[in-house]
Structure 1
Amino acid sequence: MKIVMARCPYRGQPVSTRIEIEDATFAALPDTLILSRCPLCGLEHVWWKAETWLEEAGHDKPASTAED
């Protein structure tokens, strides 16, 4: 499963919509509006599907560091 990503219109940074979807299902969706609350600014934003992209789940987790 992948996460639908979008860009916050106020901060200009990529954010997770927290919507998990398979590649084929996402590709089959029409260019429709997606509504979700932005974790950066806390506001609800509306994005067109064409403005979004998929990323692997867990991409925003901090990388673990090896301890000696």
Structure 2
Amino acid sequence: MKIVMARCPYRGQPVSTGIEIEEATYSRLPETLILSRCPLCGLEHVWWKAEAWLEEARYDSTPDAPRD
């Protein structure tokens, strides 16, 4: 699975939209808007599909630390 990425218009940094999708499925999507909450600034942003890109999903394989 890949993650749809976009750029925060306020910070200028790439962010994950939180959308996981197969590359073949993404390529068949129409040119459409993507709405998601930005983890950098906390605001909702709208991106065109053409402004977004795919990156490999990264999963943290480190187990949670024990809780007291």
TM-score range, shorter-chain basis? 0.7 to 0.9
Partner Cα separation in structure 2 for residue 49 and residue 3 of structure 1: 13
Q: Following the alignment from structure 1 to structure 2, what is the Cα–Cα distance between the partners of residues 41 and 31?
A: 25
Give 1:44 deviation, angstroms: 0.0
What's the offset of the Cα at 1:45? 0.1
Could you list the structure 1 runs, at least 4 aligned residues long, displaced by more than 3 angstroms after superposition. none
Question: Is it true that 1:20 corresponds to 2:47 in the alignment?
Answer: no
The aligned counterpart of 1:66 is none
> Residues 36-59 of structure 1, C-alpha deviation per residue, up to 9 Å, x if partnerless?
000000000000000000000018
Identity of aligned residues (%): 83
User: What TM-score comes out, normalization by structure 2 length?
Assistant: 0.85
Report the number of matched residues. Answer: 60
The gaps in structure 1 that reach 5 residues or longer are 62-68
Question: Structure 2, unaligned stretches of length 5 or more?
Answer: 61-68
Q: Distance in 2 between matches of 1:11 and 1:30?
A: 27
